[in-house]
Amino acid sequence: MGRKALAFAFLGAVAVAVAGRAEAADRTGPAQRQAGLAAEYGLAKESQFYFVLDVPGRKLDLRVRGMVLKSWPLRDMRFWGDPGFAGTVALAKKTTLKSPERIVLRPGEAKEAGPAPAPAKPVAKGAAPNPAEYELEALELKDMPKAFGLDFDNGLHVSVKARDAAAQGLSKRLRGALRWYVGLPLRNLFGTKEGKALSELELVFESGQDAQAIYWHFFDGIRGIILP
Amino acid sequence: MIKRLLIAAAALVWLGGLVVVGTAYLVGLKQASAWPPEPAAQPAEEKNAAKAERAVQQLEKRMAGLLPRGTYIVIDTAANRLFLKEGAKVVREAVVSCGSGVVLEEPGGKKRTWVFDTPRGEFAVKSKITNPYWVKPDWAFIEEGETVPKAMEDRIEAGTLGDYALGFGQGYFIHGTLYTRLLGRNVTHGCVRVGDEDLKAVFKAVPVGAKIYIY
């Protein structure tokens, strides 16, 4: 009997604590939403595109005028450093090992640039060629990198990766682990070269195309909100 | 003896390194565990919560007021897709061709440069034209290695732009194409090429002044 009473008392206490916490969250919800909406309204009243990194919702949106143009769900994310980076930010620059390069046409040297659009592979007689297979003189989504960095004006560095790109060879994974578990903690402890506090966020998306589309749509200077 | 000393020194350095890395890791872990931050533990006062709720409703109303009214066009230049929308509803989706991103450099004295990107941003339909003629700009001749003509009539070409064209400023148009097999690819000089049926539907649906969002 004594044990049962003790168990009920314990369960009751847990239930009260959980309810209290839920109520607290409910009550603080509007204040957080108000702050988020106020920040977004500031961006949405201008005609520029902006992004919203919704950490609790685990998604990255591209928006204009409050309308979601494109949404990329986050498969995974992790973080090192100073967590005080939420709020309104602007993209200072994109960094990647190999930036996509534009094709330059100089009519006098046109012969070097190659002929007009033609199928990349021989097509069976009678079969319609697949437009996706044409070799074109163009900069397209498929030319964008699948892994890159975004440096924001508040010092936050965001690494963007795709799940399929993240599952690389052993050496790349080892290098990545060494950077994440040794390099970044040391830089965080001793400070960055610029003397700023380190803030490193890694976002992993489902497919390479998601990462490529983010590279395509995120232009230098784009502003956005990070919702904590 | 020296060998032992060296081994001891190496062990000391190794241990020291391990301690530094371990400390750095633990310090970082403590910082990182504070992210994402939990909602404040102290419940806000009822009065403040109600006030915030009212403010949220007002902001949501203001945000809704920013949304485009009527029928409008959204174009994804990466996916080469055009969406005809009414409110949040997609009325029609079309495969299109957007700018190739190619740079054209003029040889010779003037050395002008053109970048064949579809402009991104918020635009509006400025003109609606049936059976449009293409007034070929300088780059169209330079790209082909031809001399730029002086007479206007030498620049006019019929049939290239399809049956309809929607102008959205600075010489950019949403228009038809002869190269329908290239729809879905980035091949244009900045305009947006649309297939015949889709172009007809878009042309009929949007009035002059309708918003165009290109991203």
Is the Cβ–Cβ distance between B57 and B143 less than 8 Å? Answer: no
Asked if the Cβ–Cβ distance from A105 to B46 is below 8 Å, we say no
Distance CA B166, CA B132 (A): 10
Task: Choose between B192 and A186: higher pLDDT.
Answer: B192
Hey, what are B45's tokens? 């006062």
Residue with tokens 């649309």: B194
- Residues 14-53 on A with a CB inside 8 Å of B are 23-25, 27-34, 37-38, 40-41, 44-45, 47-49
Cβ neighbours of B63 in A, within 8 Å: 37, 40-41, 44, 66
Asked if the Cβ–Cβ distance from B101 to A139 is below 8 Å, we say yes
A200 CB within 8 Å of a chain B CB: no
What pLDDT was estimated at residue A167? 59
3-state secondary structure of B183: coil
| CATH topology assigned to domain B69-214 | L,D-transpeptidase catalytic domain-like (2.40.440)
Who contacts A33 (Cβ-Cβ below 8 Å, separation ≥6)? Answer: B52, B56
Asked if the Cβ–Cβ distance from A107 to B43 is below 8 Å, we say no
* Alpha-carbon torsion, ordered B166, B168, B171, B176, to 10 deg: -30
Q: Which of B55, B63, B102 sits opposite A137 (nearest CB)?
A: B102
Asked if the Cβ–Cβ distance from B76 to A108 is below 8 Å, we say no
Q: Which of B42, B100, B213 sits opposite A139 (nearest CB)?
A: B100
Nearest-CA neighbor of B213 among B85, B61, B95, B96? B85
B78-91 residue pLDDT tens: 999 999 999 989 99
What pLDDT was estimated at residue A166? 55
Cβ neighbours of A186 in B, within 8 Å: 20-21, 24
Cβ neighbours of A67 in B, within 8 Å: 67-68, 88, 213
What pLDDT was estimated at residue B47? 74
Q: Which of A34, A140, A216 sits opposite B56 (nearest CB)?
A: A34
Asked if the Cβ–Cβ distance from A107 to B55 is below 8 Å, we say no
Mutate to test the interface with A, among B31, B45, B168, B183 (most CBs of A within 10 A): B31
- Tally the C-alpha atoms within 13 A of residue B75's C-alpha that lie toward its C-beta: 30
Asked if the Cβ–Cβ distance from A107 to B143 is below 8 Å, we say yes
Who contacts A179 (Cβ-Cβ below 8 Å, separation ≥6)? Answer: none
CB neighbours of residue B48 within 10 Å: 14
Nearest-CA neighbor of A167 among A159, A176, A157? A176
Burial of B30 (0-12, 13-18, 19+ CB in 10 A): exposed
B10-67 residue pLDDT tens: 999 999 988 888 887 787 777 777 777 665 555 556 777 888 888 999 999 999 999 9
Phi, psi values for residue B105, rounded to 5° = -110, 130
A191 CB within 8 Å of a chain B CB: no
What pLDDT was estimated at residue B179? 92
Asked if the Cβ–Cβ distance from B28 to A188 is below 8 Å, we say yes
Q: What angle do CA A46, A50, A53 make, to 5 degrees?
A: 140
Nearest-CA neighbor of A35 among A83, A90, A82, A87? A87
Residue with tokens 């060494």: A178
Q: What is the mean pLDDT of residues B129-141?
A: 96
Mutate to test the interface with B, among A16, A28, A199, A227 (most CBs of B within 10 A): A28
B56 CB within 8 Å of a chain A CB: yes
A103 CB within 8 Å of a chain B CB: yes
Distance CA A79, CA A175 (A): 17
Distance CA B168, CA B125 (A): 5
Distance CA A89, CA B205 (A): 38
What pLDDT was estimated at residue A195? 66
Asked if the Cβ–Cβ distance from B27 to A216 is below 8 Å, we say no
pTM of the shown model: 0.82
Task: Choose between A213 and B107: higher pLDDT.
Answer: A213
Nearest-CA neighbor of A202 among A182, A176, A221? A176
Asked if the Cβ–Cβ distance from B25 to A102 is below 8 Å, we say no
Provide the ipTM: 0.86
In a structure prediction context, what are the per-residue pLDDT tens digits for chain A, which is 228 residues long? 456 665 555 555 545 444 444 444 444 577 888 889 999 999 999 999 999 999 889 999 999 999 999 999 999 999 888 877 788 999 999 999 889 999 999 987 644 444 444 444 444 555 555 666 778 889 999 999 999 999 999 889 999 999 876 556 788 888 888 888 888 888 888 876 666 778 899 999 999 999 999 999 999 999 999 988
